[in-house]
Amino acid sequence: DAGVIQSPRHEVTEMGQEVTLRCKPISGHDYLFWYRQTMMRGLELLIYFNNNVPIDDSGMPEDRFSAKMPNASFSTLKIQPSEPRDSAVYFCASSLNWYYGYTFGSGTRLTVV
Amino acid sequence: AQKVTQAQTEISVVEKEDVTLDCVYETRDTTYYLFWYKQPPSGELVFLIRRNSFDEQNEISGRYSWNFQKSTSSFNFTITASQVVDSAVYFCALCWYTGGFKTIFGAGTRLFVKA
Chain A residues inside the 8 Å CB shell of B49: 101
At residue A1 the predicted structure's pLDDT band, cuts being 50, 70 and 90, is low
Chain A residues inside the 8 Å CB shell of B108: 42
Residue bearing the bigger pLDDT, B1 or A16: A16
Closest CA to A44 of B36, B105, B24: B105
CB of B12 within 8 Å of any CB in chain A?
no
Is B100 strand, coil or helix?
A: coil
Q: Across the interface, which of A43, A45, A98 has its CB nearest the CB of B91?
A: A43
Distance CA A53, CA A95 (A): 14
- Which pLDDT does position B55 carry in this prediction? 87
Walking along chain B (115 residues) 10 residues at a time, the average pLDDT comes out as: 95 98 95 96 94 88 94 96 97 90 93 97
- Which pLDDT does position B1 carry in this prediction? 85
Mean pLDDT across the stretch A63-79? 97
A40 contacts: CB under 8 Å, gap ≥ 6: none
pLDDT tens track for A35-46: 999 999 999 999
Chain B residues inside the 8 Å CB shell of A107: 43-44
Question: Does A99 sit within 8 Å of B33, measured CB to CB?
Answer: yes
Mean pLDDT across the stretch A33-61? 94
- Which pLDDT does position A98 carry in this prediction? 85
- Which pLDDT does position B57 carry in this prediction? 83
- Which pLDDT does position B58 carry in this prediction? 85
Q: How far is A67 from chain B (nearest CA, A)?
A: 18
- Which pLDDT does position A45 carry in this prediction? 93
* Residue in chain B nearest A6 by alpha carbon: B44
Angle at A67 between CA A66 and CA A69, to 5 degrees: 155
Chain A residues inside the 8 Å CB shell of B46: 104
Q: Is A47 exposed, middle or buried (0-12, 13-18, 19+ CB in 10 A)?
A: buried
Mean pLDDT of chain A: 95
One-letter amino acid of B36: W
